[in-house]
Amino acid sequence: MIPLFQFSDVCFGDFLTYPDITLAEQRCTFIMGQSGCGKSTLLRLLNSLVSPSRGTIQYRGENLATLDTLALRRNVLLCPQDVFLFEGSISENFSQYFGYRDAPCPSEETMQQFLQLCCLSLPLTARCETLSGGERQRVLLAICLSFLPQVLLLDEPTAALDEATAQQVLADLKLFCSERQITLIIVCHNPRLAELYADETVLLEKEAAK
């Protein structure tokens, strides 16, 4: 079976060198390692937000560098740790993000379902600029999930959450994605969460970053 992603001799800049990584489809893979080892950069490499300075990354057997970038990012969607939401209500943020894709905004019922999936019990009229960091993070996660990408890249999605909420969010997220055959690739610093929810774990070594 062709891997979903395959790294071969990949370097970024002159300071990050990656091992030859293989990532499987329809799995929940956790990317772990010390600060500075290149976890977040790895996610950006996977959806071509940045390009390797050496080596190749294959996506389903094709060189990532040869693929249409915008089409790739619709299928391989990155939900970053640095949350960007517009001023205005939650529903207005859904509408803005769907507008960028020239797609109709989901119904209010559907938007609420995705918020609940992320353990958020907020009205759609709640203004995003008044929300806490953890709430904003989960609103963006709900929007990303509602696009139903083939691959969802998550950069520390539970960093601003307490342990119990983090576990509930990841449990719901993994079940939802498994049922819809969405591949999850998650950067996480919490070994307990990896133990509970990872199908596979990739450990990046800081000493490999040169």
pLDDT at residue 208, as a whole number: 40
2-9 contacts at long range (C-beta below 8 A, 24 or more positions apart): 2/60, 2/61, 3/58, 4/59, 4/60, 4/151, 4/183, 5/46, 5/57, 5/58, 5/59, 6/57, 6/58, 7/55, 7/56, 7/57, 8/55, 8/56, 8/57, 8/58, 9/54, 9/55, 9/56
pLDDT at residue 120, as a whole number: 96
Across the 210 residues of the chain, what is the mean pLDDT of every consecutive 10-residue run?
94 92 97 94 97 96 96 96 94 97 96 97 97 96 97 95 96 97 96 96 72
pLDDT at residue 209, as a whole number: 36
- pLDDT tens for 158-175 read 998 999 999 999 999 999
- pLDDT tens for 119-170 read 999 999 999 999 999 999 999 999 999 999 999 999 999 998 999 999 999 9
Counting Cα atoms < 13 Å in the Cβ hemisphere of 16 gives: 20
Distance (Å) of CA 161 to CA 7, 133, 165: 32, 9, 6
Neighbours of 198 (CB within 10 A): 21
- Classify residue 55 as left (phi > 0), alpha (psi -120 to 50) or beta: left
Which tokens belong to 169?
């969010």
Indicate whether this model's pTM tops 0.85.
Answer: yes
Burial of 35 (0-12, 13-18, 19+ CB in 10 A): exposed
